[in-house]
Structure 1
């Protein structure tokens, strides 16, 4: 979260954290603006940086993360969910932090919501309900991310609501096993585990339980 604050040009004022037993954690950061040259500020629909550069600006707001680890009681599938909220009221969209977050977690499923709330009033008193052009969260994603994931959009343009879901296309089974390797499994065992994993991903992606086939 500190790296996210760096990417969007925020200054951390306060950090509150809480660990849970046997696992899990929550973190909340209060942040204020970090002074940056105005010519470096951009709301262009393009991928944001990875954590080796600061190209954004933030007014006072907050960052939060909450974790939800759990496991299936019967089939051995374990999932770990992290909910991250990047709330800003400055000139730069929090979408600039997406690439860093996606690459950091390397998740199977990524669900992103972007909503523009409220309004900004200009010097003449006219209200502006959005201050930058956007037609899809995908415009802020790096090419390698788009290549790795199946992606769908559900947007409500008149309400300034943008929703994008991503599911990993291919996965390496060795990255999902504990205390055993793929080479230790029979073809039948491997196929069974892969089908369980893919079903778990699809249920999370489509937000509904899929019956056994």
Structure 2
């Protein structure tokens, strides 16, 4: 049963922002494969495709799209920014409970909102053959419902080895008696808004600052199949020693991104 709605004085002035990075990692054994991977990513996640994804997000959150600015970059990368306006949220549709939002096959839900942005950053390691694609996504809303309801759709829209998420509620609004409210919904972890299939697939850790309404969750894919990371080749093309080196480099890349620090050679992951 939904929690009774808080009566406010005027407009809800809270700003709720979900920011997250997704990383896709691949092994590219030659300069030609590195370039081929970059071209693949640029085609798979070009400005047009990203616009489609963000349009779906705007549908999830019930937004009117006012303006779209998108750009593909040379030599690589793309950006899309959408300015969006509010629609009325019908009585009974507001739901801020700590439950997962819709998956791609069930795109329903509504948020009060302001903007959505995505920027991509494909790159490759100059020596060890590791190529990494990063997408930075921000969904910022002004009003009653949290953008966390769009989280599951976004995670499912990208092939992600690492996901790093930040959620923050800023500012304050007032109740009808004039008292300040610095958050208007219950939350103790971003994980409570994540669907079960995602939880089962990823190792997850939290770093939260509850008194500041700041929530941080990191996710790293649990299952490691080297063929999912080889680009242009498969494991039959590698000797046993080569496969061990490639596996170590891939795991190192994932661990360094997940823990946010460079790892010394010889460390086990």
Q: Alpha-carbon deviations, 1:3-23, whole Å to 9, x = none?
A: 111111111110111211111
Q: Alpha-carbon deviations, 1:87-138, whole Å to 9, x = none?
A: 0012110101111111111211100000000011222222111000000000
Structure 2 equivalent of residue 39 of structure 1: 92
CA distance in 2, matches of 1:140, 1:149: 14
The alignment status of 1:73 with 2:126, answered yes or no, reads: yes
Counting matched residue pairs gives 212
* Correspondences of 1:9-24 after superposition (within 5 Å): 9-24=62-77
The alignment status of 1:114 with 2:156, answered yes or no, reads: no
CA distance in 2, matches of 1:169, 1:34: 39
CA distance in 1, matches of 2:181, 2:164: 27
Structure 2 equivalent of residue 48 of structure 1: 101
Structure 1 equivalent of residue 19 of structure 2: none
CA distance in 2, matches of 1:85, 1:166: 17
SS at match of 1:101: helix
CA distance in 2, matches of 1:111, 1:173: 22
8 Å Cα contact 2:235-2:243 kept in structure 1: yes
CA distance in 2, matches of 1:191, 1:99: 34
Q: Pick from 256, 262, 265: which aligns with 1:203?
A: 256
Q: Pick from 97, 102, 111: which aligns with 2:155?
A: 102
Structure 1 equivalent of residue 193 of structure 2: 140
8 Å Cα contact 2:201-2:221 kept in structure 1: yes
Q: Pick from 186, 201, 207: which aligns with 1:154?
A: 207
Which gives a bigger RCO, structure 1 or 2 (Cα 8 Å, sep 6+)? 2
Runs of 4 or more consecutive aligned structure 1 residues displaced over 4 Å after TM superposition: none
8 Å Cα contact 1:26-1:67 kept in structure 2: yes
Q: Structure 1 residues 79-88 or 119-128, which shifts more? A: 119-128
Q: Pick from 37, 41, 58: which aligns with 2:112?
A: 58
Structure 2 equivalent of residue 168 of structure 1: 221
Q: RMSD of aligned C-alpha atoms?
A: 1.2
Q: Is there any run of 5+ residues in structure 2 with no aligned partner, and where?
A: 1-53
CA distance in 1, matches of 2:155, 2:229: 18
SS at match of 1:38: coil
1:171 to 1:34, Cα distance in 2 relative to 1, 3 A:
farther
Q: Structure 1 residues 65-74 or 120-129, which shifts more? A: 120-129
8 Å Cα contact 1:10-1:32 kept in structure 2: yes
Q: Is there any run of 5+ residues in structure 1 with no aligned partner, and where?
A: none
TM-score (norm 2): 0.76
